[in-house]
Amino acid sequence: MSYRVPLEDIDFVLNHVVDLPAVAKLNGFQHADPETVRGVLAEASRFFQEVIAPLNRIGDQQGSRLLEDGTVRTPDGFRAAYAKFVEAGWGGAHIPEEWGGGGLPYTVGIVIQEMFKTANMAFALCPLLTHSGIESLREHGSPEQQATYLEKLVTGIWTGTMCLTEPHAGSDVGALSTRAEPRDDGSYRLFGQKIFITWGDHDLTENIIHLVLARTPGSPPGTKGISMFIVPKFVLDAEGRPGVRNDFKVVSLEHKLGIHASPTCVLALGDGGEGAVGYLIGEEHEGMRYMFTMMNTARLGVGLEGLAIGERAYQKALAFARERRQGRALGEATAESALIIEHPDVRRMLTTIKANNEAMRCLFYTAARAHDFSRHADTAEERERNSELLSLLTPIAKAWATDLGVEMASLGLQVHGGMGFVEETGAAQFYRDARIAPIYEGTNGIQAIDLVTRKLPIGNGEVALGLIKEIADTAANAPQELADLAAPLSEAAATLRQATRGLLDSLGRDPNDALAGATPYLRMFGTVLGGWFHLRSAIAASELLAKGEGDEAFLGSRVGLARFYCRQLLPSASALLDAVLAPVDDLAVSNLT
């Protein structure tokens, strides 16, 4: 099997680290008790292992292709697999039932997303973008728009895209120039070019609903003049069925380093002269704000690709290390070659990947839990507190995890030695696929700026400092037997507090100094959170062991991974302090000869 869903790991994090039972007590989620969730996830695991994962390699080899008629052909097998995905209803698992979804908490939905991404990262981008469209329509669409489009998107019968980027407007969305001209019937006609449109065309569904950012006539420049439009591939007829082909076309597909199955389109809107028919969502000039609505979940979704690639890289490397014989292990009398997993250095690579994966998984489920509490908690105060926590965690989850995804894919490839560099082995695909995640949905540099300039200042740092206090408290109250894990976490939390206070000072003095330290600060924060999750995981495992509950070997491995992370990986966090606090002058352009 090319991918085995790590259900035991997932179950442990859900129930013993992020406390799924507490989520199941929230209003509307009472049916999401651990046993029911276990059943759902077991069924989902079979689907993604058996239907989606086997298409990962062929997706890379064939890629999606632009045919002469201007449509996109997906790789062999994708169409049939997507139909099964829609039929099984996995796409809308965590969307409320009133919108046609399964009504599960996002804390469970994110696990299903993780499975899809791990099974096939390029394929999973299609529902990810659809979800962004769903979020925007739920929050800002008119009742008619919701009635027309929402259920079709939730079920996956149609898919969605986000059309933001233009040749000179990437990270700087406000620089876009696609124009939307109003017509008498209340609709608009759009003209312009959009690039990097993920799954911008394909043959999986009978219609595609593009959400397009554009400027109406006389709009102010920059982000304040941007509006959001629904632009369907086929304009709906009077019965709401796909009718006339809209006036835009796929000009080309990008020739990319990885995620070949995902068609990255250049779209020319209004290329035929008439203009692409579009319908304004909500208010004019509010497009940028609407885009931010869906950004938290989209960024978590992209961040999840870091975990997905890490998990996939781990499983492949572990299987190789258990099969491949090379060299002799020290202290073994036998003349036979050793399995390479017997070499400590190979185990170091595998343990590094595994420990980082567990840390990432805890972070994503924790963020998803905050998402659920931010919408379903009983009190406004608790909803607000969780909303702020989610805001803080989102850029960290996106950037820290996707950077790790690249690093873990690289380590996984290294475990294979020379075979890792040969494409047929498959480890190289993860290394190529992983590299996009730190870039799209806001580059990781943008995430760091978001963290420092928008998230850190919430309540003058109280959300960040409150979280750091929680981390320090966990370390201070850890049982004696875990003191060797708690001590480095205490130290790391203290350094993180110092870095946080230093940045808050800089923000008030010279924000460029804060910007200069943003990236190492984000890395530090993510690394410390990883230590916190591992310690909590070790505490939970120790308690279960003391009670004689659960699988002893599995629980022992949680403590072992936590020990490795806290003692061997966590110290790198504190080493970043000087980089966080160094002045921007250390980055003088005059050094760049």
Under the binding rule (CB under 8 A), the answer on residue 331 touching a second copy is yes
Under the binding rule (CB under 8 A), the answer on residue 318 touching a second copy is yes
Under the binding rule (CB under 8 A), the answer on residue 383 touching a second copy is no
Query: 226-232 and 276-280: which strand pairing?
Result: antiparallel
**Phi and psi angles of residue 167, each rounded to the nearest 5 degrees, phi first:** -50, -35
Amino acid identity of residue 408, one-letter, is M
Stretch of 224-232, 385-393, 536-544, 572-580 lying at the interface with a second copy (CB under 8 A) = 572-580
Query: 208-215 and 226-232: which strand pairing?
Result: antiparallel
Per-residue binder mask for a second copy (CB under 8 A), 219-248, x = binder:
--x---------------------------
Under the binding rule (CB under 8 A), the answer on residue 326 touching a second copy is yes
Evaluate whether 202 touches 72 at the Cβ level (below 8 Å).
Answer: yes
Under the binding rule (CB under 8 A), the answer on residue 344 touching a second copy is yes
Amino acid identity of residue 247, one-letter, is D
Query: Residue 218: enclosing H or E segment and its boundaries?
Result: none
Hey, is 414 helix, strand or coil? helix
Under the binding rule (CB under 8 A), the answer on residue 348 touching a second copy is yes
Evaluate whether 208 touches 201 at the Cβ level (below 8 Å).
Answer: yes
Stretch of 21-29, 42-50, 342-350, 496-504 lying at the interface with a second copy (CB under 8 A) = 342-350
Under the binding rule (CB under 8 A), the answer on residue 253 touching a second copy is no
The nearer residue to a second copy, 51 or 226, going by C-beta atoms, is 226
Stretch of 153-161, 171-179, 371-379, 536-544 lying at the interface with a second copy (CB under 8 A) = 171-179
Hey, is 379 helix, strand or coil? coil
**Phi and psi angles of residue 318, each rounded to the nearest 5 degrees, phi first:** -65, -45
The nearer residue to a second copy, 138 or 256, going by C-beta atoms, is 256
Residue in 86, 180, 396, 518 binding a second copy, rule: CB under 8 A: 518
Evaluate whether 277 touches 187 at the Cβ level (below 8 Å).
Answer: yes
Paired with 537 in beta bridges are none
Q: Give which of 68, 104, 103, 64 is closest to 82, Cα–Cα.
A: 64
Kindly list the distances between the CA atom of residue 224 and the CA atoms of 142, 169, 176, 213, 423, in Å, as whole numbers in the listed order. 21, 15, 11, 12, 47
Q: Give which of 4, 87, 89 is closest to 42, Cα–Cα.
A: 4
Q: DSSP strand E in 45-111: where? A: 65-66, 72-73
In the block, tokens 């939730």 appear at 154
Under the binding rule (CB under 8 A), the answer on residue 7 touching a second copy is no
Least distance between a second copy and beta carbon 113 (Å):
22
Under the binding rule (CB under 8 A), the answer on residue 438 touching a second copy is yes
Q: Is 441 in the active site? A: yes
Evaluate whether 557 touches 537 at the Cβ level (below 8 Å).
Answer: no
Under the binding rule (CB under 8 A), the answer on residue 335 touching a second copy is yes
Residue in 153, 277, 535, 576 binding a second copy, rule: CB under 8 A: 576
Residue in 170, 457, 466, 502 binding a second copy, rule: CB under 8 A: 170
The nearer residue to a second copy, 151 or 441, going by C-beta atoms, is 441
Under the binding rule (CB under 8 A), the answer on residue 381 touching a second copy is no
CA angle (364 as vertex; 528, 480 as ends), nearest 5: 45
Under the binding rule (CB under 8 A), the answer on residue 557 touching a second copy is yes
Residue in 410, 458, 465, 498 binding a second copy, rule: CB under 8 A: 410
Residue in 86, 294, 436, 544 binding a second copy, rule: CB under 8 A: 436
Least distance between a second copy and beta carbon 100 (Å):
33
Q: Which of 135, 342, 441, 491 is catalytic?
A: 441
Under the binding rule (CB under 8 A), the answer on residue 356 touching a second copy is no
Q: Give which of 390, 376, 564 is closest to 488, Cα–Cα.
A: 564
Count, residues near a second copy per rule CB under 8 A: 99
d(CA 509, CA 584): 12
Here the tokens at position 536 are 């909590």
Under the binding rule (CB under 8 A), the answer on residue 395 touching a second copy is no
d(CA 98, CA 30): 16
**Phi and psi angles of residue 199, each rounded to the nearest 5 degrees, phi first:** 55, 40
The nearer residue to a second copy, 49 or 374, going by C-beta atoms, is 49
The nearer residue to a second copy, 235 or 515, going by C-beta atoms, is 515
The nearer residue to a second copy, 384 or 481, going by C-beta atoms, is 481
Under the binding rule (CB under 8 A), the answer on residue 254 touching a second copy is yes
Residue in 130, 165, 262, 366 binding a second copy, rule: CB under 8 A: 165
Q: Give which of 117, 194, 204, 120 is closest to 158, Cα–Cα.
A: 204
**201: Cβ–Cβ under 8 A, 6 or more apart, which residues?**
71, 72, 208, 233, 250, 263, 265, 267
The nearer residue to a second copy, 476 or 575, going by C-beta atoms, is 575
Per CB under 8 A, which of residues 445..474 are in contact with a second copy?
A: 445, 448-449
The nearer residue to a second copy, 89 or 445, going by C-beta atoms, is 445
Residue in 256, 285, 289, 375 binding a second copy, rule: CB under 8 A: 256
Per CB under 8 A, which of residues 53..112 are in contact with a second copy?
A: none
Residue in 33, 171, 224, 479 binding a second copy, rule: CB under 8 A: 171
Active-site amino acid positions = 441
